[in-house]
Structure 1
């Protein structure tokens, strides 16, 4: 879905969100409450500039508007694979964005991620996956690594990984698999304002992704292993 269509369905035609190139930012009023919005469009690769621009929206919201909810609109092909960004320290810029989101959560801001188009790799990990919860539209595309790339990293045959992906969401791309694993809390279908309203009211502030993954059968061991580590600490 095109970002302006999404914003109009959520907030009406008078929303205050705008695009500066691939960077989305602004505010919108929802049920009488102002919501800060940051994000990306056009399948943007997240480089140093985009990461820092999004972090600035988050930090300005924390500084100037305590408690204001934040909505992260996600459409990215992942991190920018360019020498310039590597030399400028893209890893630190993306870590800064993730840290800013974590700070907002700790300061009492409700932070929601919404994958409305595409979410790949590090551009997704340092935004939607650090929010209180990440949601997605049914037509969204989510993956961290394609099976050929996974085969190169794990040294396992592509055919084996393709077979595993049929029964195990951990090895498979797709928004449904991320719901099963708990990475995506729920899909927003039909009445989008109602979905946002429910998310603002019901999203837990503690990280429930491992528990959700266990309950949904997509990540059967993560929650139990984490609890064993906590018990042994």
Structure 2
């Protein structure tokens, strides 16, 4: 689903979400309430400039519309792999984006992520995974690292990782595995406006991803370790 079809399905044809290149921003109306919409499209690579544009948009909502819910529409191939962006400090720009989203949450803005197409690597970590909750459409593609790249980094045979991915969601790409691990809270089916309404109505007050991962069998130790550390 492209971003305009999605915005229309969520808010109706009179939505005010606009694309400026791969950068999405604007507003939509839900039950008489205005939502801020920020995101990306066309499998955008999140580089230095785009990360700062998204961060600026988040801060503008905090300043201009206190308490307004923020919907993050996510379609990214991950961070921009260019020397230019590395020299400018892409790591700091992406960290700044994550901090701005965290600031919005602390200032009382409900922040909901929605992966509607593709979510890879750092572009996902500093957006959807920084929200109060992150949901996805069933056809979304989510992964942090391809198995060949994981094999090079870990120096484990790719065949071994492929075998592990059959039984352990941590090693496997795909939206269903991220649901199992708790990184994605739920998949939206049917009426997307109703799905958005329900998603905003039951945003968690605390980070429940490790608990969800344990309950769903995707992350069996994270919640236990977190509780042991907190009680130490």
TM-score by length of 2: 0.99
CA distance in 2, matches of 1:212, 1:107: 25
CA distance in 1, matches of 2:231, 2:205: 22
Residue 112 of structure 1 corresponds to which residue in structure 2?
Answer: 112
Q: Within 5 Å, give how 1:110-149 maps onto structure 2.
A: 110-149=110-149
Structure 2 residue matching 1:16: 3-state secondary structure: coil
The CA deviation at 1:205 is 2.4
The CA deviation at 1:155 is 1.2
The CA deviation at 1:63 is 1.1
Structure 2 residue matching 1:184: 3-state secondary structure: coil
CA distance in 1, matches of 2:140, 2:149: 21
Residue 216 of structure 2 corresponds to which residue in structure 1?
Answer: 216
User: What's the CA shift string for 1:140-167, capped at 9, x where partnerless?
Assistant: 0000000111111111111110000001
Residue 42 of structure 1 corresponds to which residue in structure 2?
Answer: 42
Residue 165 of structure 2 corresponds to which residue in structure 1?
Answer: 165
Structure 2 residue matching 1:57: 3-state secondary structure: helix
| Cα RMSD for the two superposed structures | 0.5
Alignment length (residue pairs): 232
CA distance in 2, matches of 1:191, 1:175: 19
CA distance in 1, matches of 2:160, 2:206: 36
Structure 2 residue matching 1:207: 3-state secondary structure: coil
Question: Could you list the runs of 5+ residues in structure 1 that have no partner in the other structure?
Answer: none
The CA deviation at 1:29 is 1.0
Q: Within 5 Å, give how 1:52-201 maps onto structure 2.
A: 52-201=52-201
CA distance in 1, matches of 2:10, 2:27: 12
CA distance in 2, matches of 1:120, 1:110: 23
TM-score by length of 1: 0.99
Structure 1 residue matching 2:135: 3-state secondary structure: strand
User: What's the CA shift string for 1:124-155, capped at 9, x where partnerless?
Assistant: 00000000000000000000000111111111
Question: Could you list the runs of 5+ residues in structure 2 that have no partner in the other structure?
Answer: none
CA distance in 2, matches of 1:203, 1:216: 19
CA distance in 1, matches of 2:183, 2:208: 9
User: What's the CA shift string for 1:43-88, capped at 9, x where partnerless?
Assistant: 0000011101111111011111111000000000000001111111
Structure 2 residue matching 1:73: 3-state secondary structure: strand
